[in-house]
Amino acid sequence: MKTAQRNILVIGGTGKTGRRIVQRLEADGHPARVGSRSASPAFDWTDRRTWPDALREVRSIYLSYYPDLAIPGAVETVQAFIELALKNGIRRLVLLSGRGEEQAQRAERVLQASGADWTILRCSWFAQNFSENFLMESVLDGEVVLPAGDIAEPFIDAEDIADVALAALTVDRHGGQLYELTGPRLLTFAEAVAEIARATGRKIRYTPISLEAYADSLAGLNLPHEFTWLLNYLFGTVLDGRNAHLSDGVRRALGRAPRDFSEYARETATSGVWDSVSG
């Protein structure tokens, strides 16, 4: 089989960034393989027996670790996967990484030292966290309660991440590049919620809470341990102001400015996903 006909494996191909990347690849005529437990062949980070079949007839990979590279053991797992990919002759690897996360930066260094043709997408908080999974229910309920204080974050739109990933997977010039991807301005969580409220025409308030109270509330939700650990880590460690600055990764990669949070809020509101049940 010719290299040009081989698949591009998108790990997490049903997630926030992955499904958008798959859509773009297919629209551009690139054969894409979804890397997920429900796909065929299946891919599961926790079951290494699934890896070889998922890697067969693959030419490049979008590498997204669920739920996050910060999870203990993630770096070692990613390293083993990278080594197997290289043994299979797959050299182009695009890593989704987290901004300000020590463990994520460890994974970046592993990839950079591997000998792969690498690109790293080091991302700030996703705007889509308000509309896909994590904070969706809170927005629908009309109150977002978080231990974020008044720390500002340059929320990045997943559409921008997908555009950069597409370029990195299909265009040679992005090899060896580390792109820090942020939105074009800083917003506190209170300001972000206020923008969503304006876009929807609904009353949605932001309520700050202590980390201790937030941890207690998570404990009562019966969430997986690694997910509650991650949220406590992100709000207790990463969201301390270290990421309260802008980066030019989107412009460097694509030659244009990143999408503003207000554009995301308007388009998402128009889709109807934030319409309250009660109307």
Percent of the chain past pLDDT 90, that is, above it, reads 88
Asked if residue 274 is part of any domain, the answer here is no
CATH of the domain at 253: 3.40.50.720
pLDDT in tens, 179-224: 999 999 999 999 999 999 999 999 999 999 999 999 888 887 777 8
Asked if residue 22 is part of any domain, the answer here is yes
Asked if residue 188 is part of any domain, the answer here is no
177-181 β-sheet, strand order: 32-35, 7-11, 58-63, 92-98, 117-123, 177-181
Asked if residue 273 is part of any domain, the answer here is no
pLDDT bucket at 174, cuts 50 / 70 / 90: very high
Q: What is the pLDDT of residue 95?
A: 98
pLDDT bucket at 4, cuts 50 / 70 / 90: very low
Show Cβ contacts of residue 43 under 8 Å, excluding neighbours closer than 6 positions.
9, 11, 35, 36, 37, 50, 51, 54
**Count of structural domains, the chain:** 1
179 and 121 Cβ atoms separated by less than 8 Å: yes
pLDDT bucket at 2, cuts 50 / 70 / 90: very low
pLDDT in tens, 63-80: 999 999 999 999 999 999
Counting DSSP H helices and E strands in the chain, the numbers are 11, 10
The number of angstroms, rounded, from the C-alpha of 264 to the middle of its chain's C-alpha atoms is: 16
- Residue 51: which domain range? 3-125+157-182+245-258
Asked if residue 30 is part of any domain, the answer here is yes
pLDDT in tens, 232-249: 999 999 999 999 999 999
Asked if residue 232 is part of any domain, the answer here is no
Asked if residue 21 is part of any domain, the answer here is yes
Write out the two tokens for 240: 């301390």
Single-letter residue type at 250: V
Asked if residue 117 is part of any domain, the answer here is yes
